[in-house]
Structure 1
Amino acid sequence: MDTINTEQFWSLIDKAVKSSSGDKELKEKFLVNELTKLSLEEIMDFEMAFRKSILEADDFKVMAAQKIIEGYVSDDSYLYFRCWLIGQGKQVYQETLKNSDYLAHVVQKGESTDFESLLYVATAAYSRKTGKDEDETFPRDTAIGLGLDYDFGAAATKGTDWSEDELPKLLPNLWAKMN
């Protein structure tokens, strides 16, 4: 089920980044508007690519970056942080997955790294296009049915867990910038 391939997904995300000047609400509106122009299957595929990206970013080093930036990690904040990471665009996402210390070049101290609303763009577009309220035929439920669950059915976080005292050595540039 990949009629929107990964490149098309990232193209939409990158266009949203360029059109928004970093404003999350503008990114969200841009994506909903662009997705509404696509077929229902393509909206569904966007959700699948998005969820695959969330799952791919589930790594202890990404979590360590969030801990350094925000000072805490919870299940919800970690999910919203990965949404924020995706919402930064393909290059930032890919570089961060290679080396989470890359975020020292991206994030500013005190910047909000929560983009929860990105979770809902495919649902909003699907609802707008069908005129229906969300039900089990919508992208979210379909994705979960296909095993793309970032909550209860998710695989274990990748990589090696860390303790707080290891953070300065694990991500030294990010640590120096945020502390």
Structure 2
Amino acid sequence: MDTDEFWALIEASAAAGTPDERLAWLTDRLAGRPAAEAVGFVQRLDELRGPIDTWRHWGAALLICGGLCSDDGFFYFQAWLVGQGREAYHRVLADPDALADLPWVRRLAGRHQLDWTDEEWPDWEGLDYVADEAYERIAGEEGGLDDVVEARGVELRSSPDPVDEEWDVNDPAELAHRYPRLAALFPLPREKRRSVCETARP
């Protein structure tokens, strides 16, 4: 599966409905293809995570989520961003503040995070399991996908490991400077936020 085929599946899944319905649709489509397609899917997802695994993007996620973005939260945020489609992904890759232009993000503005439904949270953990479930259906064995990927010499990411220079993502002034459009949608309180490593989605 090449990158174009991956994006075609992701974008076609949007017509399925809710995030969970999209996951079921993707799993069914992959399960109906050769096993190599499931392997390719998980590798393309992993490759797309790399360029957005940065402190620049983590800071933006932290701002949107009101400080509730731990390492797991950011990892699933990356999958969610991929799920927004190729155009949105590349816009946010170039400028994390472009998240302010996404309709999904704008729907969250002005509302407390405790009022967001599970489907509204900007994370998509389930996307990480689509290929595994499809492969199990095809091969009839659990865990087989991991063995195939490892045999190819590929080590898939399991948590964030930002590649850019670290900065204080808890500094309200710095966040407002780096993400003016997001800061306008999600105003920061005056007090310093807790460390991203100490916060988590409730």
Class of the TM-score when normalised by the shorter of the 2 chains: 0.7 to 0.9
Equivalent of 1:67 in 47, 62, 71: 62
Q: Which runs of 5+ in 2 are unaligned?
A: 109-115, 188-202
> TM-score scaled to structure 1, two decimals?
0.86
Q: Provide, for residues 68-115 of structure 1, a one-character-per-residue CA deviation record: whole Å limited to 9, x for no partner.
A: 011233111111110111111111111110101111011132441111
Q: Which residue of 2 aligns with 1:143?
A: 149
Deviation at 1:34, TM superposition (A): 0.9
Identity over aligned pairs, percent = 28
| 1:3-22 → structure 2 map (5 Å cutoff) | 4-17=1-14, 19-21=15-17
Equivalent of 1:132 in 125, 130, 141: 141
Tell which structure's C-alpha radius of gyration is larger: 2
Please state which structure has a larger fraction of its residues in helix: 1
Equivalent of 2:48 in 49, 53, 71: 53
Aligned length: 169
> TM-score scaled to structure 2, two decimals?
0.77
Q: Which runs of 5+ in 1 are unaligned?
A: none
Structure-2 change in CA distance of 1:123 and 1:70 (3 Å): same
| 1:1-179 → structure 2 map (5 Å cutoff) | 4-17=1-14, 19-21=15-17, 23-72=18-67, 73-106=69-102, 107=105, 108-109=107-108, 110=116, 111-134=120-143, 137-138=144-145, 140-144=146-150, 146-151=153-158, 156-163=161-168, 164-165=170-171, 166-179=174-187
Query: Within 1, Cα distance between the matches of 2:147 and 2:54?
Result: 24
Q: Provide, for residues 25-48 of structure 1, a one-character-per-residue CA deviation record: whole Å limited to 9, x for no partner.
A: 011011101111211111111111
Deviation at 1:161, TM superposition (A): 2.2
Q: Provide, for residues 127-163 of structure 1, a one-character-per-residue CA deviation record: whole Å limited to 9, x for no partner.
A: 11122222xx31x3443563333137x7x41333232
What's the C-alpha RMSD, in Å, of the aligned pairs?
1.8
**Bigger relative contact order (CA 8 A; separation at least 6):** 2
Query: Within 2, Cα distance between the matches of 1:141 and 1:62?
Result: 31
